[in-house]
Amino acid sequence: MDLIPAPHHVRSTGHRALGADTRIDAHPGTEDVARWLRSTVGAATGLPLAPGKGNGIVLRVDPSLAPEAYRLVVDDDTVDMAGGSPAGVFWAAQTFRQLLGPDAFRRAPLRPDRQWTVPLAVVEDAPRFAWRGLLLDVARHFTPKDGVLRYLDLLAAHKLNVLHLHLTDDQGWRIEIERYPRLTEVGAWRARSKLGHRASALWDERPHGGYYTHDDIREIVAYAAERHITVVPEIDLPGHSQAAIAAYPELGNTDVVDTASLTVWDTWGINPNVLAPTDTVLAFYENVLTEVLALFPSPFVHIGGDECPKDQWKASPAARARIAAEGLADEDELQSWFIRHFDRWLAARGRRLVGWDEILEGGLAEGATVSSWRGYGGGIAAAAAGHDVIMCPEQQVYLDHRQADGPGEPVPIGYVRTLEDVYRFEPVPPQLAGTPAAAHVLGAQANLWTEVTETQQRVDYQAFPRLAAFAETVWSALPAPAERDWAGFERRMTAHYARLGALGVDYRPPGGPRPWQRRPGVLGRPIEGPPPIV
Active site residues: 169, 240, 307
Q: Is 456 exposed, middle or buried (0-12, 13-18, 19+ CB in 10 A)?
A: middle
R_g (Cα) of the chain, nearest Å: 24
The answer to whether the CB of 462 falls within 8 A of the CB of 179 is no
Pairing, β 525-526 against β 131-137: unpaired
Contact 462, 141 (CB under 8 A): no
Q: Which residues of 233-245 are buried (b: 16+ CB within 10 A; e: fewer)?
A: bbbbbbbbbbbbb
312 neighbors 322 (Cβ within 8 angstroms): no
Amino acid residing at 431 = Q
- For residue 492, give Cα distances in angstroms to 3, 71, 189, 328, 377: 7, 21, 43, 55, 33
CA distance 466 to 7: 18
For the packed helices 31-39 and 86-100, what is the interaxial angle rounded to 10 degrees? Answer: 20
Pairing of strands 525-526, 413-414: parallel
CA distance 76 to 10: 17
Q: CA angle, 353 as apex, 347 and 355 as ends, to 5°?
A: 160
Of 398, 412, 406, nearest in space to 512 by CA: 406
Helix (H) / strand (E) containing 302:
strand 300-304
- Residue 14 backbone phi and psi in degrees, to 5: 80, -170
Task: Evaluate whether 96 touches 72 at the Cβ level (below 8 Å).
Answer: yes
